[in-house]
A and B are shown apart, each in its own frame.
Chain A
Amino acid sequence: MKQQTTILAGALAALLLGGHAFAAELRIGTAAEPSSLDPHYHNLTPNNTVRRHIFESLVDQDAKQRLIPALAESWRAVDDKTWEFKLRKGVKFHDGSEFTAQDFVYTLCRIPNVANSPSSFTLYTKGVDAVETPDPYTIIVKTAAPYPLLPVEMTTFGIISAKAAGGEKVTFDKAGCKADSWPATQAFNDGTLTIGTGPFKLAEYRKGERIVLDRNPDYWGTKPEWDKVTFRPITSDGPRMAALLAGDVDLVDEPPLQDLERLRKDPKVSVVETLSNRVVYLALDQAEPTPTIKGTDGKNPLRDIRVREALSLAIDREAIVKRIMNNTAEPAAQLLAPGLFGTNPDLKVKSDQKKAKELLTAAGYPNGFELTIGTPNDRYINDEKIAQAVAQMYSRIGIKTQVDAATVNVFFSRRNKGEFSVYLAGWSAATGEASSPLKSLVATRIKEKGFGPTNYTSYSNPKLDELLTKALATVDDAAREKLLAETMKVAMEDYAVLPLHYEVTSWAMRKGLSYEPRADQYTLAASIRSAK
């Protein structure tokens, strides 16, 4: 049936071209749907994607996740604990009112007060200790300790209108702002408060069906090409591709891997792709006893660095990328693709089964041991297949390896309960810089510092923690980048986790459209252009 598609696609030419001569309308088929249009309700990629069309943030990120001005024209660190943001003047909300510093203050106050939020943005606002607004176009943010990531975190949440929500008088208080009531999530779903400064306005929202946006004619920046943009959730891969080929939609995100080869050759379709900010890795449990290793008399071999190195050397990453990922991925030597902020250009990985075997023998496991790898089977691209491949590679050096695959909701619950000695998972660096994976995956779990929330392996390396702590308190960008690169090296040389590959994100669209692929995987209609 797949071969048929290629042939059939040819017949579409007239249809595709014919349908788009008149309207500046863009229809996008998406693999996932936002859970709500409330910009502060759920920190989730589909939600954040739609948010970026309607609500803007102070600072924004370009396709390579470098910071660019948005509602703030410029910003600087006045001293280690003080940041000053100069706001853009003359920016209007969709209801015509003007954007000022009070809208930022109100947004900051509302974020901790979203009822039932399953994943809150307080994660990115808790660095703020105090806010001053000497004039409507200046914001001074104070932090309790040096906080170099503040501008990056300002990219993560959209600014809502204080006036529309009746919050003109609200003032910021770290312990909790005072207001009679806070806007309900429903008010953003039904359009009452869906009032931002973004390039698009909300026209229609039907859950499970479509989100329709109209161009904001008064937008301060480059006006988007499209009068109307429709997002349609088409969650199954096959139907999403069919919708593109049938001309029902103009662009789709996450085209399935097995169709990419054919789409690239299809004269009616163009494909763009880029290295994403996601790394797929194996985590190695350091606890003793460890749950899914047998044949070691209760000892946890993973505590021995020689075993960890052997497990890394045994993996042929090139083969995984070539055979399982159809070359749509890149072998990984660290936790974030090189080139992004804080990565280390010197890190390399090798594959050497002979040496791996020697190291196992030296560690006292000449006959290996028995191991079960946990993996989700519907979360990352080909996740279970990758785990199967790794299991075969481990079996070759004498470690009898099995794979225990489960659907996301089961897998993550079990993983979080510590049911696996080795598990496969992925990490997207939302901030686009190296402190994100380092802090979450390999730093020692310390609740008060917010270190190691996704470190489910009890891994702990004082040297790494010290370097990372230092990096996170260094406001100077160049110095911090060096420190992060060094921290990365420490983590990788200790085989804290084993990176496998960086995923590639792709988009497929009808010929005649162009889109600069984004490392953060967002599909932004304002950046989709038609070739002129």
Chain B
Amino acid sequence: MLVFLIRRLAQSAIVIAVMSVLVFAGIFAIGNPIDVLISPEADEIERAAAIARLGLDRPMHEQFLSFAGNALSGDLGTSFVHGVPAIGLVLERFPATLELALLAMIIAVVIGIPLGIWAGLKPDSAAGRIIMAGSILGFSLPTFWVGMLLIMAFAVSLGWLPASGRGATVDVFGVPFSFLTLNGLKHMFLPALNLALFKVSLVIRLARAGTREVALQDYVRFARAKGLSPARIVGVHILKNIMIPVVTVLGLEFGSVIAFSVVTESVFAWPGMGKLLIDSILLLDRPVVVAYLLVTVLLFIVINLVVDLLYSLLDPRIRLGGAKA
């Protein structure tokens, strides 16, 4: 177990180092942030002064070395655009994204697993077919379009839910969350549903495929022969055995929902991290982009670790040894 963890951490450090070099060079290649940031009225003297203030007058390797040095001591630099520490900007947006992603995942699991199992148990029934057809829609409809449609239907025409924004928040240990207020939940529902749509379809398909396979296994037949109730067979024997692929995929999806739910965040003007990333890339705000991706990489590492630990809980046959990680 310890070997496993150490190996994981070492791998992560390499990933982070490689990624920061790539991002740094990539953004450097796109252009000079000053061209986007400075007022066009500024004359050449002003321009030179601004470039010097942001440290952009130094050659790239020098900029990178000083960045890397500061980063090792925990300082990821100051945002070119906002003039405040980059890591602070990213973490400030984190709670909004996290709660949205969590709600989306809950919706995906609560809707997706029962529907998937149903479709798997009765693949030829009308309900099974409708569920599968619906999941195709969930896969193929573009997120921004569905988002706009949800807004038009529930906000503009019915007026039940707000069109966008975050709504009221409550501070928990100084961190603002909106899932604790009714107003906040109302604001969260549509974007979370929009985010969840794709995951629901994914979970349905995984659960269905798993169920069809597991339902034919000997131990299920045996359980049936023993006279166990259908509820227990499905709820324990089938459910537990279809969870491994579902947990794997959900783990990966959870990471990407947190890191890259840019489209939904833009459509619903949700003040999360995804929007910050896009804005920062457009304005070539290098410190923020690097800080953001570092946080993302860390997040993925943690999630993958949790997924691996969950495996061993779900399937006692899996051992987290040093041999295969």
A binds B: yes
Listed in ascending order, the chain A residues whose CB lies under 8 Å from chain B are 1, 4-5, 8-9, 11-12, 15, 35-36, 38, 41-44, 114-120, 122-123, 185-186, 189, 206-210, 232-236, 238-240, 242-243, 245-248, 407-410, 412-416, 427-428, 430, 436, 440, 445, 447, 450-451, 453-454
Inter-chain contact B43/A408, CB cutoff 8 Å: no
Inter-chain contact B157/A8, CB cutoff 8 Å: yes
Which residues of B sit under 8 angstroms from A41, Cβ to Cβ? 83
Q: With A8-B156, A407-B282 in contact, is A239–B163 under 8 Å at CB? A: yes
Q: Does B276 contact A (CB under 8 A)?
A: yes
CB within 8 Å of A: which of B120-153? Answer: 148-149, 151-152
Q: With A120-B49, A242-B152, A413-B35 in contact, is A115–B44 under 8 Å at CB? A: no
Partner of A243, one of B39, B45, B164, B282: B164
Inter-chain contact B165/A1, CB cutoff 8 Å: no
Inter-chain contact B163/A122, CB cutoff 8 Å: no
A416 to B39, CA, bound (A): 14
Inter-chain contact B46/A413, CB cutoff 8 Å: no
| CB<8 Å pairs between A and B, sample of 8 | A8-B152, A8-B157, A36-B82, A118-B83, A206-B271, A412-B31, A413-B35, A447-B45
A412 to B42, CA, bound (A): 14
Inter-chain contact B50/A117, CB cutoff 8 Å: yes
A120 to B40, CA, bound (A): 11
Inter-chain contact A233/B159, CB cutoff 8 Å: no
Q: Does B308 contact A (CB under 8 A)?
A: no
CB within 8 Å of A: which of B155-188? Answer: 155-157, 159, 162-166, 176
Shortest C-beta distance, A161 to chain B (Å), equals: 20
Inter-chain contact B54/A120, CB cutoff 8 Å: no
Sample of 4 more A-B contacts, CB < 8 Å, known A119-B38, A123-B41, A409-B282: A11-B159, A118-B53, A408-B36, A436-B41
| Chain A, Cβ-Cβ closest to B48 | A447
Q: How many chain-B residues does the 8 Å CB contact rule pick out?
A: 58
| Chain B, Cβ-Cβ closest to A122 | B46
Inter-chain contact A239/B271, CB cutoff 8 Å: no
Inter-chain contact A247/B164, CB cutoff 8 Å: no
Partner of A409, one of B35, B83, B151, B268: B35
Inter-chain contact A248/B152, CB cutoff 8 Å: no
Inter-chain contact A430/B41, CB cutoff 8 Å: yes
Inter-chain contact B159/A12, CB cutoff 8 Å: yes
Which residues of B sit under 8 angstroms from A233, Cβ to Cβ? 269
| Chain A, Cβ-Cβ closest to B265 | A208
A409 to B286, CA, bound (A): 12
Partner of B46, one of A120, A412, A414, A454: A120
Inter-chain contact B151/A239, CB cutoff 8 Å: yes
Inter-chain contact A410/B30, CB cutoff 8 Å: yes
Shortest C-beta distance, B71 to chain A (Å), equals: 18
Which residues of B sit under 8 angstroms from A414, Cβ to Cβ? 31
Partner of B163, one of A186, A248, A413: A248
Inter-chain contact B155/A248, CB cutoff 8 Å: yes
CB within 8 Å of A: which of B28-80? Answer: 30-47, 49-50, 53-54, 78, 80
Q: Does B303 contact A (CB under 8 A)?
A: no
A189 to B83, CA, bound (A): 10
Lowest 5 A-B CB distances belong to which pairs? Answer: A413-B31, A208-B271, A450-B43, A118-B37, A209-B271
Inter-chain contact A15/B162, CB cutoff 8 Å: no
Inter-chain contact B165/A232, CB cutoff 8 Å: yes
Q: Does B93 contact A (CB under 8 A)?
A: yes
Q: Does B92 contact A (CB under 8 A)?
A: yes
Inter-chain contact A239/B266, CB cutoff 8 Å: yes
Which residues of A sit under 8 angstroms from B92, Cβ to Cβ? 207
Q: Does B283 contact A (CB under 8 A)?
A: yes
A247 to B156, CA, bound (A): 8
Inter-chain contact B284/A409, CB cutoff 8 Å: yes
Which residues of A sit under 8 angstroms from B149, Cβ to Cβ? 1
Inter-chain contact A238/B271, CB cutoff 8 Å: no
Partner of A235, one of B39, B42, B84, B266: B266
Q: With A115-B53, A247-B159, A440-B41 in contact, is A207–B271 under 8 Å at CB? A: yes
Shortest C-beta distance, B16 to chain A (Å), equals: 25
Inter-chain contact A242/B151, CB cutoff 8 Å: yes
Partner of B156, one of A209, A245, A427, A453: A245
Inter-chain contact B156/A116, CB cutoff 8 Å: no
Which residues of B sit under 8 angstroms from A234, Cβ to Cβ? 164-165, 269
Which residues of A sit under 8 angstroms from B43, Cβ to Cβ? 123, 447, 450-451, 453
Partner of B267, one of A122, A232, A238, A445: A238
Inter-chain contact A119/B163, CB cutoff 8 Å: no
Which residues of B sit under 8 angstroms from A12, Cβ to Cβ? 156, 159
Shortest C-beta distance, A428 to chain B (Å), equals: 8
Shortest C-beta distance, B74 to chain A (Å), equals: 18
Q: With A234-B269, A414-B31 in contact, is A453–B163 under 8 Å at CB? A: no
Shortest C-beta distance, B260 to chain A (Å), equals: 16
A210 to B82, CA, bound (A): 16
Inter-chain contact A239/B156, CB cutoff 8 Å: no
| Chain B, Cβ-Cβ closest to A15 | B159
Which residues of B sit under 8 angstroms from A15, Cβ to Cβ? 159
Which residues of B sit under 8 angstroms from A408, Cβ to Cβ? 36, 282
Q: Does B89 contact A (CB under 8 A)?
A: yes
CB within 8 Å of A: which of B260-310? Answer: 266-269, 271-272, 275-276, 279, 282-284
Partner of A242, one of B31, B34, B155, B279: B155
A208 to B93, CA, bound (A): 8
Inter-chain contact B83/A185, CB cutoff 8 Å: yes
Inter-chain contact A118/B275, CB cutoff 8 Å: no
Partner of B49, one of A122, A210, A453: A122
A414 to B155, CA, bound (A): 42
Which residues of A sit under 8 angstroms from B82, Cβ to Cβ? 35-36, 207
Partner of A118, one of B54, B89, B96: B54
Which residues of B sit under 8 angstroms from A428, Cβ to Cβ? 40
A194 to B81, CA, bound (A): 19
Q: With A235-B269, A236-B269 in contact, is A123–B84 under 8 Å at CB? A: no
| Chain A, Cβ-Cβ closest to B268 | A239
Which residues of A sit under 8 angstroms from B164, Cβ to Cβ? 232, 234, 239, 242-243, 248
Partner of B50, one of A120, A210, A235, A415: A120
Which residues of A sit under 8 angstroms from B31, Cβ to Cβ? 409-410, 412-414
Inter-chain contact A246/B284, CB cutoff 8 Å: no
A8 to B163, CA, bound (A): 14
Inter-chain contact B155/A207, CB cutoff 8 Å: no
A38 to B81, CA, bound (A): 12
Inter-chain contact A43/B157, CB cutoff 8 Å: no
Partner of B36, one of A38, A117, A409, A445: A409
| Chain B, Cβ-Cβ closest to A45 | B39
Which residues of A sit under 8 angstroms from B89, Cβ to Cβ? 207
| Chain A, Cβ-Cβ closest to B31 | A413
A243 to B42, CA, bound (A): 36
A209 to B166, CA, bound (A): 7
Partner of A9, one of B50, B80, B156, B268: B156
A240 to B165, CA, bound (A): 10
| Chain B, Cβ-Cβ closest to A124 | B41
Inter-chain contact B83/A232, CB cutoff 8 Å: no
A416 to B36, CA, bound (A): 11
Q: With A115-B53, A243-B164 in contact, is A447–B276 under 8 Å at CB? A: no
Q: With A8-B156, A412-B31, A413-B30 in contact, is A43–B165 under 8 Å at CB? A: no
A382 to B317, CA, bound (A): 61
Shortest C-beta distance, A403 to chain B (Å), equals: 19
| Chain B, Cβ-Cβ closest to A18 | B159
Shortest C-beta distance, B191 to chain A (Å), equals: 11
| Chain B, Cβ-Cβ closest to A48 | B39
A11 to B276, CA, bound (A): 35
Shortest C-beta distance, A16 to chain B (Å), equals: 10
Interface centre among B42, B47, B80 (most CB of A within 10 A): B42
